[in-house]
Structure 1
Amino acid sequence: MSRVDEKSPKDCAKKRFNFNKFHKKFFFAFSTFLLTILSLIFLIWLTLHPTKPQFSLKDVNIYQLNLSRLNLINSTIRLTLSSNNPNKKVGVYYDVLQVYASYKGQIITRQTLLPPFYQENEETNLLSASLAGNQVPVAPSFGYEVGRDQRIGKLVLTLKVIGRLRWKVGTWVSGRYRFNVNCVAVLPFNSIPSGPLSSKQGTVCSTVV
């Protein structure tokens, strides 16, 4: 008579227990490894802690600022910005840079796209942009605001830069971060187009990342 081996319910339960225990150990080891990597990245980031780039407006010239009866404006503006990376161990990739001008909260030029570039640590670069507005719609009060500033003899123009950047630490490169730059230029308001409105006084801009 042949012998039949049968596993008891106790043995099966024991095997199921060992199988689940293996999965728990694997999950715990993987979680520990992932947490260690994330902690290391965070520690590097916290130690270096990149400082946001600094922008300043070097000069700005308004060559055209004409308003039609239909509340459409034509404008031509040229400007030079200085961009500085104050970090000692962190580089900056500027992937997107768009510049435009506004007056009294109203946009008067189209967005101009500047070429992307990489900025080394503690490096300073000059950025030049030509802004133009062709039949840009403005509020009915725009003409009154321009006339009042002309009587006062002072025009306050806002230059804005919006874009995306990435930090570079050694061989590690971060994800993209949005940034906004806001520059205010005060120009003597005499006459256009007999002569451009110009300002060459360096103005520190505010930067938000």
Structure 2
Amino acid sequence: MSQVLIKSPKHCAKQGLNIDQHHKKLFFFFSSLFTSILSLILVIWLILRPSKPDFSLREADIYQLNLSGSHLLNSSLQLTLLSKNPNQKVGIHYDELQVYADYKGQRITTYTSLPPFYQGHQDSNLLTASLIGTWLPVAPSFGYEVGRDQTAGKLVLSLKVNGRLRWKVGTWVSGKYRFNVNCVAVMAFGPAIPTGPLTSKQGSHCATTV
């Protein structure tokens, strides 16, 4: 003879209450765990306080800077940068690096991409790039401005790097942060036509923002 078990509404309500309490305990457990992990990361971040990387210009050479007509430019440059990670306990991943040259607010080369790389604690890396511009449109006053600089005896260029970086602490890697580097190259540029490339080797420090 079979038996039919009938649960009272009171019993069902008690069982539902137990399930809700179990879910709440799991929710509070995972919430506390997540908060603890975030707090630990924040404490480590505040203790380490990563410093932004240092960049300096080692050498810049202009092999070509010719106008075709009044506003189309052909250019060829070579540059060498020194990148240094000043942090003792934080590594840096560099991603999406692009380099270009600028003259008085006008871009005079196309963007040149550099391969991504990792920089360990207090490591240094030499970065070289060939910058080229072909039929780049420039302002009609470009030739006049270059002529003025030649009369003054020096040519001033801005060499710029744009990219993204990620901080690395142990096995933890941060999200991506955009950074910008601006290096100023001052080159002797006398009235006589130079036989070789215009060169800057003063080793100037670059401005870096993150």
1:125 counterpart residue number: 125
> Any idea what the Cα deviations from partners look like across 1:68-96, whole Å, max 9, x if unmatched?
11511011111111111101111122233
Structure 2 contact 156–186 (Cα < 8 Å) conserved: yes
Structure 2 contact 92–166 (Cα < 8 Å) conserved: yes
TM-score with structure 2 setting the length: 0.91
Identity across matched positions, percent? 66
Query: For residues 118 and 46 of structure 2, what CA distance do their matches in structure 1 show?
Result: 22
2:28 counterpart residue number: 28
Aligned-pair Cα RMSD in Å: 1.9
1:165 counterpart residue number: 165
Query: For residues 156 and 3 of structure 1, what CA distance do their matches in structure 2 show?
Result: 97
The letter for the 2-side match of 1:11 is: H
2:141 counterpart residue number: 141
1:61 counterpart residue number: 61
Query: For residues 3 and 124 of structure 2, what CA distance do their matches in structure 1 show?
Result: 87
Structure 1 contact 64–192 (Cα < 8 Å) conserved: no
Structure 1 residue ranges (4+ consecutive) displaced by more than 4 angstroms after TM superposition: 2-6
Query: For residues 187 and 70 of structure 1, what CA distance do their matches in structure 2 show?
Result: 23
1:105 counterpart residue number: 105
Structure 1 contact 63–192 (Cα < 8 Å) conserved: no
Q: Does the C-alpha gap of structure 1 residues 80 and 3 become closer, same or farther in structure 2, counting only changes over 3 Å? A: closer
Pair 1:199-2:194 in alignment? no
Match of 1:204, SS? Answer: coil
Match of 1:86, SS? Answer: coil
Deviates more, 1:117-126 or 1:80-89: 117-126
2:45 counterpart residue number: 45
Match of 1:19, SS? Answer: helix
Query: For residues 122 and 164 of structure 1, what CA distance do their matches in structure 2 show?
Result: 19
Structure 1 contact 63–195 (Cα < 8 Å) conserved: yes
2:10 counterpart residue number: 10
Instruction: Name structure 1 gaps, 5 residues minimum.
Output: none
The letter for the 1-side match of 2:196 is: G
The letter for the 1-side match of 2:81 is: L
